[in-house]
Amino acid sequence: MENLPKKIGIIGAGRMGVGIAQLFLEHGFPLLLHDSSPTLLQRAAQKLKERLWREGTESSGQAPEEILQNLVLSESLQDFRDCDFILEAVFESYEAKESLLDHCRKYVSPEAIFGTNTSALSVTRLARSAPDSRRFIGFHFLNPAPRIPLIELIRAPETEEAVVQLCQDLARFLGKTVVFSQDTPAFVVNRVLIPMINEAMHVLEERGASAEDIDTALTLGAQHPMGPLSLADFIGLDVVLAILKTLQSERGEKYRPSVFLEDLVARGHLGRKSGQGFFKYR
């Protein structure tokens, strides 16, 4: 489609950034992947190579080595001047995201659309730090980005209608279904999902059932594809905790995070990405 972006920039080479980068590469977009950590960048490049070879690349019809020619790694935000669609996927905190957005002001094109992949933070607030609030939007992928067929779009008060329409077209080109959410804490999916996960943790705290039995009960009894505690480990317990703290500050004490969750995060047990959370992983 003629109105789609010509070059994509992804800021953040963590789990979400890599998944989003994979999706855009599979659909034929030239892509610049940035992280301030050279180690994370090299690890991301290796993961992308492994995934493209393992999972196939039917979307673009290209061989993995051809797709990877569209990938450029960068440790400098100055390289983003020629990107016309930029998406940040850095840590879920106002401090991290606002600092990044403010820093990007002198490096991105005035014509570029800037999206945030925040899971729960206010898009309206983040837009105040963006290079241009009229070209800023919440563009929320769910994990894993290549497989979950949904994108939540959240506009800020000043977001231009043309930007919303282009982002909707882009999401559909990527094979996603779009839902529009108002700028409320945690939007739609996480507003419903994260409190359910927190409640499962409270049941575990109260010794109402074992972690295994809680997950089995929800998998079989509610027909969920994954139990809530396994899902928390998959999302990342630090991310779950950050979303709950946002909900608690915005919506009250009923969203107070489980003591179990806070203890696990304090000990560095973050789920799959650290090898241990509510369950152990290789």
pLDDT digits (tens, 9 = 90+) for 186-228: 999 999 999 999 999 999 999 999 999 999 999 999 999 999 9
Calpha distance 221→53 (Å, rounded):
37
Q: Is the peptide bond before 144 cis (omega within 30 degrees of 0)?
A: yes
Q: Do residues 147 and 248 share a domain?
A: no
Give the pLDDT of residue 58: 56
Domain boundary among 180, 200, 233: 180
Q: Do residues 24 and 105 share a domain?
A: yes
Q: Do residues 237 and 131 share a domain?
A: no
Residue 83, domain extent:
8-180
272 within domain boundaries: no
Residue 59 has pLDDT above 80, yes or no: no
Q: How many structural domains does the chain have? A: 2
- In the predicted model, what is the mean pLDDT of residues 249-274? 96
Q: Do residues 125 and 195 share a domain?
A: no
CA distances 13 to 22, 37, 44, 134, 180, Å, are: 11, 9, 6, 26, 26
Domain boundary among 180, 203, 235: 180
Q: Do residues 220 and 243 share a domain?
A: yes
Report pTM: 0.91
